[in-house]
Structure 1
Amino acid sequence: MEHLITSLVQAGLNQKEAKVYIALLQLGKNSAYAISLKSGLKKPTTYVILDDLMKKGLVLKIPRAKKQQFIAKPPEEFFAAAEERLRTAKQALPELQSITRDRESATKVLLFEGMNGMREALFYRMDELKNSKDIGFWARGEGLSGDYLDLATEWNTKREKNNISLNGITPDTPFIRKWITDNSLKHGMHLVPLEDYSSQVSLDITDKFVRIADAHSMQAIIIENEKVAGMFKQIFNIVMEKYKNPSTISPQ
């Protein structure tokens, strides 16, 4: 019985309506009192539900009967009507999908602050970036707190686990060389002279967003827009053309 109630609920009835409809199918033409006993609902409730089912076209009241009686319409009519409602509703699907696409294409800008915010920014949508590339311009790193360096190491471990390749330009400093070697990066980091690039702010580019992180101030901004990410990728490629043969550190 429960599976029948579940099927009717999935087709648009509520629990009580399903119970009354099934009871009436079992009884055939009958009174509200008999339907109440069969369905396990109180008689006043049964009258209310019968009225609702009549409005939905699933139950008919027998005319000119000495005692008020009701009869259920065949279940095939109910399911045919449900299918027709679904078919009609699906006509709105293209327009609804268009609304979703418009929302998804809108630029989303997110601000993160503090250590917890930096964690959220670093690991933002990371599981969706599996088997992709993360490119960018990395900060020089001196003077960062031990807690943040631990967080960066944790991020790098998760990046490797998700098979996210890393490629970027970073200032050539002893600190950066040691950090890259200690973390055994899979892909080389392109080291450029400090006189050319000495930023303390990182900017990295994924397929889905651009992330700007200032680990000294514990602030990060994410710009989530694929077209914006594409623009920054082009800028990155232009810069890489200038440094075709930079110093590179690769894991031993």
Structure 2
Amino acid sequence: MLDELKKIGLSENEARVYLALLELGSETAQEIAKKAAVKRATTYVQLEALMKKGLVTSFEKGKKSYFRAEDPEHLIKIAEREKKMARERESALEEILPGLGKLYISSGERPRVRFFEGVEGLRTMQDEFLKTKEKEALGFSSADDILRIFPSHPAEYSPRRVRRGIHSKLIYTSSRGKILKKQDDELLREARYIPADKFPFTCDVAVYGNRVAISALRKNPIGVIIESEEIADSLKTIFNLAWEATEKYN
């Protein structure tokens, strides 16, 4: 019966206390707590709630307070009250729903964010990038970390990007210096080096179309793709600013 009482609006502890009182007839809070297997302090709270609902009454006997369960017929009134409140909530929701919908639409674009874990997760991000219809991608990268995680990256990933006709503008760090420049033309790439000791960078960031893909390459590899025109445009602006600043290192 506990579950049935909960369905009509009683909390679990209220239901326990009420059932205990039905069996006991009338008793002190201490005895009710024992019967209901509820802490004594909690029992007082539940008894007060049940009295407000008309399911319990109290009376004094000597110097002690006793509590008595009211006729279970009162539960019908509670069920009817719950139904009435549900109808009122539904009616109120129907009234405000059109306005809420307008607010939702007027608030503009909502970024879609997806997370990827592990090396295989980063491969999935790369595969998704290579399916893009965009013909230019802007990026920041740590060449050392990319080659550590994906040793075959130059032989596999770059040729696939070239076959897709995706041009890359890349700002990168490397402990070996300007290692990418000599292959720029054949790989549809403009790469600019920045010194890792001055600009430590351990992530890979790609911006293409309305998407920003960020991969953390140290410790446990993890990545995120954010789909948002506003965020992508802002990152493109930051990239262009950084691109101009790399001139003195190249």
TM-score (ref. length: structure 2):
0.50
TM-score (ref. length: structure 1):
0.49
